[in-house]
Structure 1
Amino acid sequence: MHLTIRHETVYSYTAPLAYTIQQLHLTPRSDPQQRVLAWDLTLPGTVHAYTDAYANPSHMMTMASQHTELRIVAAGVVETAMPPRGRISTTESLSPLVFTVPTRLTEAGPEVLELAASCLGRAPATTARLLQLSERILHGVRYQTGATGVGSTATQALQLGQGVCQDHAHIFIACCHAAGIPARYVSGYIDPENTGHAASHAWVDGWVEDADYTGWVSIDVTHARLMTDAYCRLAIGRDYDGAAPIRGVRRGGGTEMMQVQVQIVPQ
């Protein structure tokens, strides 16, 4: 499948900013499941390109002159392939054990520990058990925009019973870590099909030991299904903080307003 993607983010401020720095994961990964055919970033300020510790294409953008608006546009075409049964081929050298370390966002409270014990037991996991976990999370945490924020933890979202794809991913990762199973956060895009919804998305990779396969399986917890060729992977990390498309800090600016437009056209 070919996915034509355009992602525009506009920040506007009620007062001038003196300084802005943004870390960007807005360029798709070059993985066996996908190939970047064309990609362009339109960014203000000074930009430094690099590859981070998880082999994600990354950029650091800084603006040291006064400004009241930031416009960031990522656009291009990505060719994706169907991963068989969600199984992800990788060329990375990192041990999966790197993704067993809890973070602030994925620490397991009592509710997470209870959910993990009821669904997973102890490592190793199978694909079927991880899908069962995603179904339990989806049943217990209703999708609700605005119910949580980027700083909400897995435990907070599970207690609330509401959240978004980021929260579903964090709860899944926290449960896997509690059971000693490697799991990691994935940021990217999804073909909205005929739903009319198009936005950045988040899902997970979990480490499985099936009868015929040992390795990563990619699962969309929000839809309780395996990843298909309708997904474009931007970045992987231990949690949202490590794989977010845009993260930054600023000096000044008063109140911040953000507008995001994402268009995805499959071919």
Structure 2
Amino acid sequence: MVGISFSYITSEAYYIPFPEEREAADKILAQLQPVFEAEDILKIGQNIKYDILVLMNYGIAVKGKRYDTMLAHYLIEPEGKHSMDWLAEQYLNYKPVSIESLIGKKGKNQGTMRDVAPEEVAPYASEDADITLQLKTKLDPIIKENNLEKLLLEVESPLIEVLAAMEFEGIKIDTESLQEMSVTLEKESREIEARVYELAGETFNLASPKQLGEILFNKLELDAKAKKPKPASMQPVRRYLADLLVNMKLLRRSWILGNW
């Protein structure tokens, strides 16, 4: 770890450089550990799973609620780009400092952040933290406006910890069982697809947001309040399915508790 940058007030950020020696780095992290492991402090990040994995390598478990701006934007615009640089230009009208200006262009001669003096890394890293915080303030209202908050906080965000743990620990795969499962899932998928067409009264392209929206909202009228989807727009469909998924999850949880 070369350093950590953080921000808790927009347009203000801090950078802490780390020495190469692991023991010295651990001493610095020990002072920050209570913050990372505090349940009542919201952690905001751009691709926060990466940060969680880095800290896991230093024996720190990031706890409490998490907000990933990259994941939030994926829910808002799944077909779009989600890099911090692109989001900053789109939502903040700001072009961040390029990492290539510090370590060179990609290729065999590209350096690392450890090669760069801390006083040069500090503005770059601090900018990253500040932009991420500002993006959260821009994206969160859009998430709420599109009724994606439950999907983000109750379905997607909890998966970050699961995926990080899987990457950290690794997984052992039973290839034979996986092949059998693949055959079973393929069969079930075809059966479900046939059932969907039966309920819809016609066949259509399930991968098409426009066609799916037409079936859900115009033909079946499953949600009278839903706006008619625009061509190639997945948002109304995604919102409806997100609410359905969350409700199914809550219903299942209630059933489990009721039958404990």
TM-score under structure 1 length normalisation: 0.21
Larger strand share, 1 or 2: 1
TM-score (norm 2): 0.21
Structure whose alpha-carbon radius of gyration is higher? 2
Structure with the higher helix share, 1 or 2? 2
